[in-house]
Structure formats: C-alpha cells, structure tokens
Amino acid sequence: MKKNLKKICSIVLFIICFGSAWIFGFSQGANWGWKANLPSPFEKIINKETPIEISDADMGIFWDTWKVVLEKYVGRHDLDAQKIILGATRGIINALKDPYSEFLDSEQTENLSQELSGEFYGVGMEIGRRDGFLAIIAPLPGTPAEKAGLKANDKIIKIDETEAIDLSPFEAAKLIRGPEGTKVTLIIYRSSWDETKKIELIRKKISIPSVRWEKIDNNIVYLKIYNFNQPLTFNFYKTALEIAFAKPQGLIIDLRNNPGGYLESVVDISGWFLEKGNIILKEDFGNDEVKIFRVRIGQALLKDIPTVILINEGTASASEILAGALRDNRGIKLIGEKSFGKGSVQELVSLKDNNSVKITISRWLTPNETIIEGNGLVPDIEVENEEEFGTFSKIDLEKDKQLQTAVAELQKLLITN
C-alpha cells in the first residue's frame, strides 16, 4: 500500500513538473514569436550613419527608448515617426542650454527669412530670453508694440492663453504673429510695476526700416541705424555718400533699440567708419580657434568726422559689435545706458525639407577683447532719459537728455579740434 501511494505521488509530481515546464516553454516561445514578428523599430529608418568625429557617447538609450515606444505605447499604431525624429532633434538643441540656439521647422525657417528680409506680419518687436524669462529686446519703430508702450527688458508672461515661461523665442513669435487685423493679448511684467499688465495688440504688416539720417544743431548729422537686416548694406551705401557730401562737422550714431541682425551687414558698413585693415571684432569659436574680422573695403569716407554713439539696453548683437569696434579703434565715446549684452554669433544652417538650425557658432570680443556676452557695453557717459521715446519718434532735443548729451559732447570735440 505504501509502495503504491509513493508511486502515485511520484507520477503526480512528474506530471506537475512536466506540465509547468511545458506551459512556461510555450508562453516564452509565444512571447518570443510575437516579438519576432513585430516590425523592426528601425527597419524603415534611413540615414542611420553616425556623425563624423562624434565624441564618445552611447546612443543605446535613444534606440532603447524608441523601441519601448513602438512596442508598448498605447497609441503606437498612429505614431508619425518623422514627428518623433523632429522632436528628438529639437531636444538635442534644447540640451545645449543656449538661449540663442534653436531647431527651426520649415514654418519657423520661413518666418525667420521674412523677418531678416525686412518684412513680416505681427506686432513688431524683437524678443529673446533673459534671466530665464522671455523678454523684449526692442520694440521696432512705428509698430503696434512701440505704440502700446512696450519697452526693452519687459518680460512676456503669457501670450493669449499660453504660458510663455518655457517658450523659445521662435515658439513665441509663432503665437504672436498672425493674420493682419487680428488681436493678440500679452501679459507683461516690468520691474518698475507692482503687478503684471494686460496689453492688447492688433497685428499689422511690419516693414522694418534699416537707416535714416538728418541734420540737427549747427551742421551735426544724426544717423539712426534701426537694425542690421539684409537691405542695410545697400541702403547704407547711399546714406554714407549723402552724409559725406553734406560735409557735417559732427556725427551722432544712434544705436538705441537696435536688436542687431546679420554679422555680414555690420562688417560691410564698418568700412565707412574705419580704415582698411582695422579690426572689427574677434570671434572665439572655442578650442583656441579665434577668427579676426578686419575692414575689407576701405572707403572710410566717414572716419574723420568727430563722432559719438548713443546706446541703451535695447542695443544688442550686431549693433554692439559696431559700437565696440568704433570705440576700440577710434576712441569714440558711448553715451546712454548699458547695452543688452548679446555677444554671440548665430549661423542659420539649412537642413532637409526646409528645416534649419540656428546655432551659436562663436562668441565675439571687441578689438580690445572686451567680453560682451551677458555683460553689455558700459557707456563712457551714462545718461538716463526721464521719459521713454519711441524708436521712430521725431527728434526732441528739449526732452531727450541722451541726445542732448551727445550734442554737447560733440561740441566739446569740435572746440578741441
């Protein structure tokens, strides 16, 4: 009896073990077979080659994450692989933590091209990131932004219903721009205010001027450079000749609220103020690579005219390059308020399908190697205006203290000379 019971137990135990092993094997085989018949996460991906001279890094985490999404994400059947790639590409640029480097899709690339060509639709202000916030660099002349009283360094908290704290400048510009005649509402904070304010703006066609000039006070020429966009080089050729033929005794260059633009434009017009061979700026590309930009064309028709320059917190980028070059080479005094401090150079690199990358390729130094990035240019004569003047406003020598100071300083130079 005991032998039969023992034999029965052995048989039952064998059946249990065999059954468990079979079930386990079947489930694992089925699971493996199911996965084996899944489409490869990468079988339709083209251009898999790694970049040339890439530093040591493990791309495994990217591919593993991609595989998890394709195998487990509940909406995996409706995924657009190209959108995922664009998102990942944008993440590469965002990881640089550089406020001026951005990945631009085809629509954003077109918007940038329109802006630098001197014409677009919106409210008319240059925006960037400062101290972790989206901020106005400068309102553009004669635009809804300027007429509404927006100023350099105003922080944009909200655009319509969208919080702006984490938006890139191009994401914000996309929300602010729109069809002519439509309304956009901004929530703005200014350091001198106790609370934020709601500003409603009506979009219009924005045509950006590049330069203008006129005579003021005893044959002094006032020269206003609004920005360094594409039309400036051509327009300045005509302007410089007109000023030279006018034979002024002094020259005031107004770079207030000039947000910058193309590096090539400032290099081109520097030759009207400096001699051929003078250093305009030094570009530091990192890794001990420094490129020196010198005046290439030596017209220098305006180099002997006693000159002063007006700057303020809206003076940025290419306008800081010009101001720094003229101060370092000719000892020209800067008058007004400390400039914005955007001392880096961006290159727009075209990619496939009209996408692009705006990437910081270098940081620039003035000829005397003054570092501008994050610091700005400190004026030789610091003057604040008691009231704000629009960039495109008519000259008001009675109220514009910065301009008054510039005229007075020129008159001292004329007496000395």
Options 210, 317, 339, 356, the catalytic residue: 317
CB 87 within 8 A of CB 66: no
CB 376 within 8 A of CB 152: no
Helices marked H in 300-376 — which ranges? 318-330
Rounded (5°) CA angle 124-126-132: 135
Options 154, 254, 328, 400, the catalytic residue: 328
CA distance 416 to 346: 41
Q: Which helix (H) or strand (E) holds 246?
A: helix 232-246
254 as an active site residue: the answer is: no
Q: How many CB atoms lie within 10 A of CB 204?
A: 16
Amino acid at 319: S
**Distance from first CA to last CA of the chain, Å, rounded?**
131
Tokens of 381: 């004569």
Tokens of 322: 């010009």
CB 121 within 8 A of CB 143: no
Residue reference for tokens 């966009």? 229
Estimate to the nearest angstrom the gap between the alpha carbon of 5 and the chain centroid.
85
Sequence-separated (6 or more) residues with CB below 8 Å from residue 252: 216, 220, 221, 222, 223, 307, 308, 309, 310, 403, 406, 407, 410
Tokens of 54: 């890439």
Options 155, 224, 282, 342, the catalytic residue: 342
For 330, the 3-state DSSP assignment is: helix
Residue reference for tokens 């399908």? 353
Amino acid at 410: L
| DSSP percent split of the chain into helix, strand, coil, nearest 5 | 35, 25, 40
317 as an active site residue: the answer is: yes
342 as an active site residue: the answer is: yes
Going from the C-alpha of 71 to that of each of 33, 36, 59, 68, the distances in angstroms are 14, 12, 19, 5
Q: Which residues are catalytic?
A: 317, 328, 342
